[in-house]
């Protein structure tokens, strides 16, 4: 209240009879289903069994970092596209995909990441070796 009164005095207004500010209600957002297609390049030794995490960033927020793997198959092999579905809070318009590769396996050559969500399609090209232990960012093309 003292900060409010100070701001009102600074602006030349009276604080007499001023009501305290009410907290804005927090409205939970409905989760959005993201279809994430990760394509490993078709170059020698491109595949990896390393632990990989992904974050999606948009105009509203970034998702939390999550492992991106299918326990029922061999992900991230040379020339292969792996499809994953994740349900996260709405990030708004997708602007960036971020990838983290642990230093627990071979190097990985990532071709691209395609994300389909809310009737939209976003392509994040990469076409390079992913640095290990560093968040790599790919902007939507």
* Model confidence pLDDT, tens digit, residues 67-97: 998 888 999 999 999 999 999 999 999 999 9
Classify residue 8: in a domain, yes or no: no
Q: Based on the structure, what is the number of domains in the chain?
A: 1
Classify residue 122: in a domain, yes or no: yes
CATH number of the domain enclosing 36: 2.60.60.20
Classify residue 89: in a domain, yes or no: yes
Classify residue 65: in a domain, yes or no: yes
Classify residue 16: in a domain, yes or no: no
- Domain that includes residue 47, residue range: 32-139
DSSP annotation string for the chain: -HHHHHHHHHTT---TTPPPPPPPPPPPPPEEEEEEEEEE-SSTT----S-EEEEEEESS-BPPPEE---TTS--S-TT-EEEEEEEEE--SSEEEEEEEE-SSS---EEEEEEEEETTEEEEEEEEEEPPBTS-EEEE--
* pLDDT for position 33: 98
Classify residue 104: in a domain, yes or no: yes
| pTM of structure | 0.77
* pLDDT for position 23: 55
């Amino acid at each position: 209240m003292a900060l409010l009164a100070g701001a009102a005095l600074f602006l030349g207004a009276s604080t007499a009879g001023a009501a305290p500010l009410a907290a804005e209600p927090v409205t939970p957002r409905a989760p959005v289903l993201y279809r994430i297609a990760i394509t490993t390049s078709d170059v020698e030794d491109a595949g990896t069994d390393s632990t990989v995490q992904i974050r999606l960033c948009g105009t509203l927020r970034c998702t939390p970092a999550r492992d991106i793997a299918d326990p029922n198959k061999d992900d991230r092999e040379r020339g292969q596209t792996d499809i994953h579905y994740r349900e996260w809070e709405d990030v708004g318009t997708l602007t960036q995909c971020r990838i983290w590769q642990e230093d627990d396996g071979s190097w990985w050559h990532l071709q691209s990441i395609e994300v389909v969500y809310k009737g939209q399609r976003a392509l994040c090209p990469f076409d390079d070796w992913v640095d290990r232990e560093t968040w790599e960012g790919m902007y939507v093309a």
